[in-house]
Amino acid sequence: MKELREKNKNTVLLDGGDSISPGKDKPELRAEISMQALDLMHYDGLNIADGELGLGETFFQELQKKVLFPLLSANLFKNKKPLGQEYCIKHFAEFKVGVIGLVSPSYFNSELLAKEDLEVKDPEKTLKEILPKVNAQADIIILLSHLGKNETTLLLQKVPGVDVAIIGHDPGMLNQPELLAKTILVQNSTQGKHLGILDLTIGTKGAIESYTGSMVSITENSPQDPEVFALMRELEKKKNSQHPRTEKKLPE
């Protein structure tokens, strides 16, 4: 990311959600280290999805206090108040980018939502309400759509006005961007195996004139950032320092 930002200062780094996986070994520790790493990489926005809430809403709220970048969600509410930041505006010299986050209600257990006093509002209704607000402040609209590809496609057919949609939750990926009417669709792989890059050419009036996309594989041979590498060493050290426990098979 440092190299990309050095080449182009007009860079936005975003995540469509599920950056936290509750099923992993030492999930709370992994979650804390992961969020610290995202902070070090200067993320511009992370969509709050079912993965982020997989360790409980209380744990998520504690994580939320520790990060410096926006945790976004336009349709997740706690006690009728937004759980995260509904949207954010990224300012550049000649244009502004608005970022909106949405998650599908179908990914949540209704009993869990009731227990945590959480509400996932209808994505279509939410987007229709918030899009004019963001349009008034930004030239380019990016939707972090944690709805899967099919639901994202249906949503954008009903609610036009999004320039770029980053699709989340589905396990597949798009090797190249796809165009749906006037919206550019991109979808990355899971588990941080690739860095998805979308290059946009922005005209003088703040509109997208052309675009190209690519996927960069992240392997053990990829260049390591010293600060992030130190965090990973810290994770391993903390894991090894904890007392061994009897492994229990989780119910399937």
CATH of the domain at 225: 3.60.21.10
User: pLDDT digits over 39-61, tens only?
Assistant: 888 999 999 999 899 888 889 99
Asked whether residue 249 is domain-assigned, the answer is: no
∠ CA(205), CA(209), CA(211), 5° rounding? 135
The Cα–Cα gap between 252 and 247 comes to 15
Asked whether residue 173 is domain-assigned, the answer is: yes
Percent of the chain with pLDDT over 90: 54
Asked whether residue 41 is domain-assigned, the answer is: yes
Residues ≥6 apart with Cβ < 8 Å to 132: none
Q: Are 236 and 30 in contact (CB under 8 A)?
A: no
Please give the model's pTM, rounded to 2 decimal places: 0.88
Token duo for residue 198: 């979308």
Q: What average pLDDT does the segment 10-34 reach?
A: 84
Q: Are 120 and 105 in contact (CB under 8 A)?
A: yes
Sign of CA dihedral 147, 18, 9, 2: negative
Q: Are 51 and 21 in contact (CB under 8 A)?
A: yes
Q: What average pLDDT does the segment 194-206 reach?
A: 90
| CA 137 to the chain's CA centroid | 21
Asked whether residue 245 is domain-assigned, the answer is: no
Q: For residue 74, give the nearest of 153, 140, 132, 13 by alpha carbon.
A: 132
Residues ≥6 apart with Cβ < 8 Å to 102: 47, 73, 74, 75, 123, 126, 127, 143, 144, 145, 146, 147, 155
Q: Are 138 and 96 in contact (CB under 8 A)?
A: yes
The Cα–Cα gap between 41 and 82 comes to 25
∠ CA(186), CA(196), CA(145), 5° rounding? 40
pLDDT higher than 50, residue 113: yes
Residue 26: how many CA atoms within 13 Å on its side-chain side? 16
Q: Are 72 and 45 in contact (CB under 8 A)?
A: yes
Q: Which secondary structure element, helix H or strand E, spans residue 251, and what is its range?
A: none
Asked whether residue 49 is domain-assigned, the answer is: yes
Count up the domains in the chain and report the number: 1
Query: What is the pLDDT, as a whole number, of residue 239?
Result: 63
For 123, the 3-state DSSP assignment is helix
Summary mean pLDDT of the chain: 87
Residue 75: give the domain boundaries. Answer: 2-239
Any idea which residue has 């860079």 for tokens? Answer: 11
Asked whether residue 133 is domain-assigned, the answer is: yes
Q: What average pLDDT does the segment 80-109 reach?
A: 95
Asked whether residue 246 is domain-assigned, the answer is: no
pLDDT band at 248 (very low <50, low <70, confident <90, very high): very low
Of the ranges 3-12, 91-100, 178-187, which one carries the lowest mean pLDDT score?
3-12
Asked whether residue 145 is domain-assigned, the answer is: yes
The Cα–Cα gap between 113 and 131 comes to 26
